[in-house]
Amino acid sequence: MRAIPFCCLFLRLITFDSGANDWTLKDQKDGIFVYSRHSALSKFNDIEVEMDLPGTVTQLTSILFDVEKYPQWAYCTKSAVPVKRVGANELIYYSEINVPWPLSNRDFCADAVLSYDSARHTTCLVCKGLKDYLPEKKGLVRIPRSNAAWCITQKSDRVVHVQYILQIDPGGCLPAWIANMFASKGPMESFGNLKKKMEALNP
């Protein structure tokens, strides 16, 4: 795994030049904690999720790299397909996101890179949006900016701790209720589904 460059990028994603400790708790359920804070780069707030999951780092990263199954658990994901395998720990993928009618669905490409921070004993998965990697599709709004980072730590033999941070600008015009839906309901449902998948692997 490529350790130093992408762990450094992960730490930059944590701060986003807007202060590292100004998170506000927005929702809490079944051990899932969803926070938000003002973004210095977008009118849409940054999102943070923290939780413990049963299982191992390897099990979780296998799920996260199986992009074609994202529609099974990731909120409002209509489709996700690999575009290019760069290596064992790097993948470029394309995804389409369902948005309620009458608004247009969103889509994006992302470069997902898995790395290991030996100093912190932490596995990092950084997904950086690639706005112009593929031509835009008619009827879809290309997400202009998307950065996501997973920080995964083996807390015990049977439990992993996850910290997830998302910075996104969905593009176009979205009413506040749609933005809030993706900011709180989306992470809660996605991580609830992810928890069920990990529980199925660790009965």
Going along the chain from its start, the domains and CATH numbers come out as 4-201 (3.30.530.20)
**Amino acid code (one letter) for 34:** V
> Which residue's structure tokens are 């290991």?
116
Report helix, strand or coil for 143: coil
Report helix, strand or coil for 178: helix
**What are 16-20's contacts with CB under 8 Å, separation 24+?**
16/40, 16/41, 16/46, 16/167, 17/41, 18/46
Instruction: Give me the helix-helix angle, 186-201 and 57-65, nearest 10°.
Output: 120
Q: What is the pLDDT of residues 145-165, one digit of tens each?
A: 999 999 999 999 999 999 999
72: phi then psi, degrees, rounded to nearest 5: -75, -25
User: What pLDDT score does 107 carry?
Assistant: 97
pTM of structure: 0.88
Cα–Cα distance for residue pair 45/58, rounded to 1 Å: 30
Nearest to 133, CA basis, from 144, 122, 124:
144
User: What pLDDT score does 3 carry?
Assistant: 41
If you average pLDDT over residues 10-15, what whole number do you get?
Answer: 48
Give residue 40's pLDDT band: very low, low, confident or very high (50, 70, 90).
confident
Q: What is the pLDDT of residues 185-194, one digit of tens each?
A: 889 999 999 9
User: What pLDDT score does 187 carry?
Assistant: 92
Cβ contacts of 90 within 8 Å, gap of 6 or more: 2, 111, 112, 113, 114
Cα–Cα distance for residue pair 92/82, rounded to 1 Å: 6
Q: What is the pLDDT of residues 82-104, one digit of tens each?
A: 999 998 899 999 999 998 888 89
Partners of 112 in beta bridges: 91, 127
Q: Which residue has the higher pLDDT, 182 or 113?
A: 113
